[in-house]
């Protein structure tokens, strides 16, 4: 990775060439800000159990990388370790309290990252922009998970990888318990949904093919099970309708 300092959208305006407008943007215009949760999350001890799985997300990185929802920057040191010298690292984080901590941690760790204030449902990047996209315990809090996944597919290059580590709804009584707890849990855990079938949504998306999906038998109820994996963006041709000429008028 390069040794240039961290940049943040809090410090500069985003260029129009990186913008992507969506008809559904107005559906996601409420502010995301959880100062108490950010403080508690920052104070929580790092789980050693997650370390090998974060290494999985960040191993052998090259080209352009996007992290969706970087939080306070827990993945930064793993990216620094797993990325080559030419890695171009981008990240988004919509919560300003988390983002400030991420900027601080990137500077302290001398991690070069272009960090932006943006939501997963409306990524401020052009099509086919990244070689790898990663998410680590993010899609539980995304307001519109389907829109966010479609955005990941859009910004990934053909054959690009989407690597993820996400907790999902359990089976049986544990799943029923998560259903019951989720309304309360969302209020105290920054909108986290305990009962999403996130990985089923991932592997069922037409833009991806599954490369590797593993259900991990660790963690504590209600935030369990955890699934990690890699999807590959399928090769699809974009049709330029303008090249087809004017419609036939009988």
Q: Residue 24: inside a domain, yes or no?
A: no
Does residue 169 lie in a domain region? yes
Is 9 a member of any domain? no
Please report the pLDDT score of residue 24 as a whole number: 40
Nearest to 85 by CA among 3, 9, 141, 147: 3
Q: 178, exposed or middle or buried, with CB in 10 Å at 0-12, 13-18, 19+?
A: buried
What are 61's two structure tokens?
A: 């990185």
> What pLDDT score was predicted for residue 187?
81
pLDDT at position 156, please?
Answer: 98
Q: Angle formed by the axes of helices 96-108 and 35-43, to 10°? A: 30
The answer as to whether 110 is a domain residue is yes
Residue 180: which domain range?
A: 31-234
3-state secondary structure of 71: coil
Give the Cα separation of 238 and 36 in Å (integer): 44
pLDDT of 1 reads 66
Classify residue 205: in a domain, yes or no.
Answer: yes
> What local confidence, expressed as pLDDT, does residue 131 receive?
98
Provide the whole-model pTM. Answer: 0.81
Could you tell me the CATH number of the domain that includes residue 183? 3.40.50.150
pLDDT per residue of the chain (250 residues) written in tens, 0 to 9: 655 556 665 544 333 344 444 444 434 555 665 555 555 666 565 667 789 999 999 999 999 999 999 999 999 999 999 999 899 999 999 999 999 999 999 999 999 999 999 999 999 999 999 999 999 999 999 999 999 999 999 999 999 999 999 989 999 999 999 999 999 988 878 778 899 999 999 999 999 999 999 998 777 788 889 999 999 999 975 544 344 444 434 3
pLDDT score at 37: 53
* Residue 1, domain member (yes or no): no
Structure tokens at 145: 């998970």
Any domain includes 248: no
The structural domain count of the chain equals 1
User: 11 lies in a domain?
Assistant: no
Identify the residue whose tokens are 């309708």.
Answer: 241
Structure-token pair, residue 176: 């029923």
What is the helix (H) or strand (E) element at residue 232, kind and residue range?
strand 226-233
């Amino acid at each position: 990775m390069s040794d240039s300092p961290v940049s943040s959208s809090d410090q500069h305006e985003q260029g129009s060439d990186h913008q992507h407008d969506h008809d559904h943007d107005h559906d996601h215009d409420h502010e995301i800000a959880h100062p108490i949760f950010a403080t508690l999350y920052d104070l929580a001890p790092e789980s050693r159990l997650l370390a090998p799985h974060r290494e999985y997300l960040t191993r052998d990185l090259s080209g352009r990388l996007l992290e969706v929802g970087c939080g306070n920057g827990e993945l930064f040191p793993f990216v620094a370790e797993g990325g080559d010298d030419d890695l171009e690292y981008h990240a988004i984080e919509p919560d300003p309290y988390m983002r400030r901590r991420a900027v601080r941690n990137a500077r302290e760790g001398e991690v070069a990252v272009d960090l932006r204030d943006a939501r997963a449902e409306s990524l401020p990047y052009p099509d086919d922009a990244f070689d790898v996209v990663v998410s680590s315990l993010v899609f539980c809090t995304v307001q519109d998970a389907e829109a966010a996944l479609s955005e990941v597919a859009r910004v990934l290059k053909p054959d690009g990888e989407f690597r993820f580590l996400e907790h999902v709804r359990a089976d049986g009584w544990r799943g029923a318990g998560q259903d019951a707890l989720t309304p309360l849990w969302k209020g105290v855990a920054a909108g986290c949904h305990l009962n999403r079938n996130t990985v089923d949504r991932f592997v069922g998306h037409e833009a991806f093919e599954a490369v590797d999906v593993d259900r991990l038998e660790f963690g504590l109820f209600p935030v369990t099970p955890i699934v990690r994996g890699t999807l590959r963006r399928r090769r699809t041709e974009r049709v330029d309708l303008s090249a087809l000429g004017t419609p036939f008028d009988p």
